[in-house]
């Protein structure tokens, strides 16, 4: 029995870890007829065809002709320009979504740039510290959360279609405003990343790489995301620097509190502080995490 795939021609704009994993997942679940990677560097895109990720690659926006879905997977800074190009190439009404970790005021700009295309902002909360399509995994999205941030004016059927796509990839989908998205993701993702970078930076001043042949899961887990792409994360942190500054100051304050407790040497007070932190961490656990 042959089932017509949900999308006939999907354009992935930016074939990195997320774009590549999306391509693999769409293929594996027979959700797309043809998957096309649109990017800037043909020599880096080309091997993705024999690697089985995509059916064709292009550095020309004309690749979006006849597309019924475009997913923006490059860095958010490129979206506005890409959307303007796509608006002149893809069919009017073509669904467009994205994978950016930052939303806020950008979403309204993206909507405007998308013109007659049906844009819906998405943030599939999957990824990893290893970048590039060669690290792509078909299962990257499975079981992870996806926050969609439609505006009041966003086409309702487009929200449904894009939401169904992420669900088809195994994601838990929810809707919220772009502003609530940034508060939430700033807290549950950006702040842990920033703290991990700071821990790695401090540790580099205290010891050598050789010392870490004795490191266990504690070090590797706590700092895993500090190996993430600096350029991507600079963009994310600078999307809402004031919020990040306030949150980072609170982490500094808690480190200072811990230092004061160690200085005072009062074990019950120290244990109580540790217990509050541990209790909060435990309270955030879901099944399987």
Distance of CA 41 to the CA centre of its chain: 22
The DSSP output letter for 130 is S
Q: Which stretch binds a copy of itself (CB under 8 A): 17-25, 26-34, 35-43, 223-231?
A: 223-231
Who contacts 172 (Cβ-Cβ below 8 Å, separation ≥6)? 143, 144, 145, 146
Out of 50, 152, 206, 287, the only residue in the binding site for a copy of itself (CB under 8 A) is 206
Out of 83, 94, 120, 196, the only residue in the binding site for a copy of itself (CB under 8 A) is 196
Q: What residues numbered 257-286 form the site for a copy of itself, per CB under 8 A?
A: 257-259, 262-263, 265, 267, 270-271, 273-278, 280-286
Query: Hey, what's the torsion of the CAs at 112, 116, 120, 123, to 10 degrees?
Result: -70
Q: Which stretch binds a copy of itself (CB under 8 A): 24-32, 42-50, 106-114, 246-254?
A: 246-254
First to last CA, the chain: 37
Out of 51, 145, 151, 175, the only residue in the binding site for a copy of itself (CB under 8 A) is 145
> What is the C-alpha to C-alpha distance for residues 121 and 84, in angstroms, rounded to an integer?
16
CB of 214 to a copy of itself, least distance (A): 5
CB of 101 to a copy of itself, least distance (A): 10
In this structure, what token pair is assigned to residue 209? Answer: 């790489």
Who contacts 55 (Cβ-Cβ below 8 Å, separation ≥6)? 34, 35, 36, 49
Per-residue binding string, a copy of itself, 102-141, x by CB under 8 A, is -----------------------xxxx-------------
Out of 144, 151, 155, 168, the only residue in the binding site for a copy of itself (CB under 8 A) is 144
The DSSP output letter for 119 is E
Q: Which stretch binds a copy of itself (CB under 8 A): 22-30, 46-54, 153-161, 189-197?
A: 189-197
State the number of binding residues for a copy of itself (CB under 8 A).
93
CB of 161 to a copy of itself, least distance (A): 22
Instruction: Kindly state whether residue 251 participates in binding a copy of itself, applying the rule CB under 8 A.
Output: yes
Who contacts 222 (Cβ-Cβ below 8 Å, separation ≥6)? 196, 199
CA-wise closest residue to 140 among 2, 271, 26 = 26
């Amino acid at each position: 029995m042959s089932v017509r795939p949900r999308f006939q021609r999907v354009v992935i704009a930016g074939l990195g870890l997320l774009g590549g994993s999306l391509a693999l997942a769409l293929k594996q679940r027979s959700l797309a007829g043809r998957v096309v990677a649109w990017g800037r560097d043909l020599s880096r895109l080309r091997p993705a065809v024999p690697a089985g990720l995509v059916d064709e690659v292009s550095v020309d926006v004309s690749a979006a002709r006849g597309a019924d879905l475009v997913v923006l997977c490059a860095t958010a800074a490129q979206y506005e320009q890409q959307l303007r190009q796509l608006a002149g190439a893809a069919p009017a009404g073509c669904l467009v979504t994205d994978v950016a970790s930052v939303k806020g005021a950008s979403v309204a700009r993206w909507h405007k740039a998308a013109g007659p295309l049906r844009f819906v902002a998405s943030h599939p909360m999957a990824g990893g510290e290893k970048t590039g399509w060669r690290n792509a995994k078909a299962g990257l999205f499975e079981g992870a959360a996806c926050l969609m941030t439609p505006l009041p004016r966003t086409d309702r059927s487009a929200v449904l279609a894009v939401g169904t796509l992420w669900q088809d990839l195994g994601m838990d989908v929810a809707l919220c405003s772009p502003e609530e998205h940034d508060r939430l993701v700033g807290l549950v993702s950006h702040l842990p990343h920033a703290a991990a970078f700071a821990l790695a930076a401090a540790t580099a001043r205290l010891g050598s790489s050789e010392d870490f042949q004795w490191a266990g899961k504690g070090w590797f887990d706590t700092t895993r995301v500090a190996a993430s792409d600096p350029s991507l994360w600079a963009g994310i942190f600078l999307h809402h620097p004031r919020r990040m500054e306030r949150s980072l100051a609170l982490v500094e304050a808690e480190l200072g509190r811990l230092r004061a407790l160690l200085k005072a040497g009062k074990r019950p007070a120290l244990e109580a502080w540790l217990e509050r932190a541990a209790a909060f961490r435990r309270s955030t656990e879901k099944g399987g995490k």
